[in-house]
């Protein structure tokens, strides 16, 4: 979607403001200073205008990302703080939002207070492209965003450096050639979900605890992988290779003709998992050469 269509789409969303977790100025007449700042839907922002994500879609984004109490959720371009507040209030996560506009960030902080989420939600005033803030949001295991396609693409290299298994969920906009792992629609609005894949490309030697050995060559494009297995000098294409977060899996035909599968966790240059044959499982370890 180009910027003009985006602005029109956002403008059409102006009926979606009422969100009970981030109430608006008229609900809180004075004590928190909201009379000093009343944002309007569609107002300019540094890289993108402000329009809040509708409540139902906020909830669905957090459900699709399976947010829970173990999670640290960061909303990039936090607006009035509603996604970060919902992550804490509805899903019990710790959450933070980064918002460039200082007045909007102050409003978001007041909304955090009013939602009773002060210890659980932090609103940071700053630029999502500031390397120092990028270091901070890279500590999260869930990222939410409602930005623009070109901003998603600018963020993509940073997101791909985050821990494998990090969940990323975006309202309306995709991530170019990094295909989503899931898409969903709420009231005609689209959401996209990705899981950061481990880097598995290269040649791996594998050994199990029964003396079995093999060598795997993997090529990778985001979460898509392909490759071959070599056993005793014979090479074959892998069957159904996949990477999902830090999990690598594939099936192959062993030297004796039996069909076996590997499912392993990738930790940097090593992998550790199981070699499955029918109901038997042996421990398999691998090293990238």
CB-based contact 60:85 (threshold 8 Å): no
Our finding on whether 98 is near ligand SAM (CB under 6 A) is: yes
Our finding on whether 45 is near ligand SAM (CB under 6 A) is: yes
Among 82, 94, 114, 167, binds ligand SAM (CB under 6 A): 82
User: Measured at the alpha carbon of residue 40, what is the angle toward residues 35 and 46, in degrees to the nearest 5?
Assistant: 110
Identify which range of 75-83, 113-121, 241-249, 279-287 contacts ligand SAM by CB under 6 A: 75-83
Residue 148 carries which DSSP code? -
Our finding on whether 47 is near ligand SAM (CB under 6 A) is: yes
Over the window 164 to 183, marking each residue x when it contacts ligand SAM by CB under 6 A and - when it does not, the resulting string is -------x------------
- Least spacing, CB of residue 208 vs ligand SAM, in Å: 47
- What is the C-alpha separation between 258 and 278, in angstroms, rounded? 9
Name which of 87 and 238 has its Cβ closer to ligand SAM: 87
Over the window 109 to 148, marking each residue x when it contacts ligand SAM by CB under 6 A and - when it does not, the resulting string is ------------------xxx----------------x--
Going by C-alpha positions, the residue among 207, 212, 204 that lies closest to residue 266 is 204
Alpha helices (runs of H) in 34-130, residue ranges in sequence order: 55-64, 82-91, 102-114
Q: Which residues pair with 192 in a beta bridge?
A: 170, 183
Going by C-alpha positions, the residue among 82, 137, 74, 132 that lies closest to residue 107 is 82
Question: Within 10 Å of residue 15's Cβ, how many Cβ atoms?
Answer: 8
Among 17, 73, 78, 196, binds ligand SAM (CB under 6 A): 78
Give backbone dihedrals phi and psi of 83, rounded to 5 degrees, phi first. Answer: -70, -45
Q: Which residues pair with 76 in a beta bridge?
A: 98, 145
Which residue is at the shortest CB distance from ligand SAM?
77
Give backbone dihedrals phi and psi of 220, rounded to 5 degrees, phi first. Answer: -145, 140
- Least spacing, CB of residue 82 vs ligand SAM, in Å: 5
- Least spacing, CB of residue 156 vs ligand SAM, in Å: 15
- What is the C-alpha separation between 87 and 41, in angstroms, rounded? 22
- Least spacing, CB of residue 113 vs ligand SAM, in Å: 18
Our finding on whether 286 is near ligand SAM (CB under 6 A) is: no
**HSE, side-chain direction, 13 A CA sphere, residue 37:** 15
Our finding on whether 149 is near ligand SAM (CB under 6 A) is: no
- Least spacing, CB of residue 261 vs ligand SAM, in Å: 41
Among 17, 21, 23, 48, binds ligand SAM (CB under 6 A): 48
Binding site for ligand SAM (CB under 6 A): 45-48, 50-53, 75, 77-79, 82-83, 98-101, 104, 127-129, 146, 171
């Amino acid at each position: 979607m180009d910027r003009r269509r985006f602005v029109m789409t956002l403008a059409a969303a102006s009926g979606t403001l009422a969100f009970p977790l981030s109430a608006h100025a008229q609900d809180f007449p004075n004590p928190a200073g909201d009379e000093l700042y009343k944002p309007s839907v569609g107002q300019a922002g540094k890289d993108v205008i402000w329009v809040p994500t509708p409540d139902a879609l906020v909830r669905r984004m957090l459900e699709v990302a399976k947010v829970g109490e173990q999670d640290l959720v960061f909303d990039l371009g936090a607006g009035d703080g509603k996604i970060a507040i919902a992550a804490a209030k509805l899903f019990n996560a710790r959450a933070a939002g980064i918002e460039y506009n200082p007045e909007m960030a102050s409003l978001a902080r007041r909304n955090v207070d009013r939602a009773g989420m002060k210890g659980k939600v932090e609103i940071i005033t700053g630029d999502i492209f500031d390397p120092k803030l990028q270091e901070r949001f890279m500590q999260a295991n869930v990222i939410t965003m409602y930005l623009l396609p070109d901003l998603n693409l600018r963020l993509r290299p940073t997101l791909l450096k985050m821990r494998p298994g990090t969940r990323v969920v975006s309202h309306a906009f995709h991530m170019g050639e990094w295909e989503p792992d899931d898409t969903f629609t709420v009231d005609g609005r689209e959401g996209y979900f990705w899981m950061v894949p481990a880097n598995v490309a290269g040649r791996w030697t594998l050994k199990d605890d029964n003396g079995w050995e093999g060598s795997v060559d993997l090529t990778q494009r985001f979460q898509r992988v392909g490759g071959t297995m070599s056993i005793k000098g014979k090479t074959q294409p892998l069957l159904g290779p996949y990477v999902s977060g830090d999990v690598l899996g594939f099936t192959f035909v062993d030297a004796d003709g039996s069909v076996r599968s590997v499912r392993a966790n990738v930790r940097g240059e090593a992998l550790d998992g199981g070699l499955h044959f029918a109901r038997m499982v042996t421990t398999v370890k691998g090293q990238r050469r």
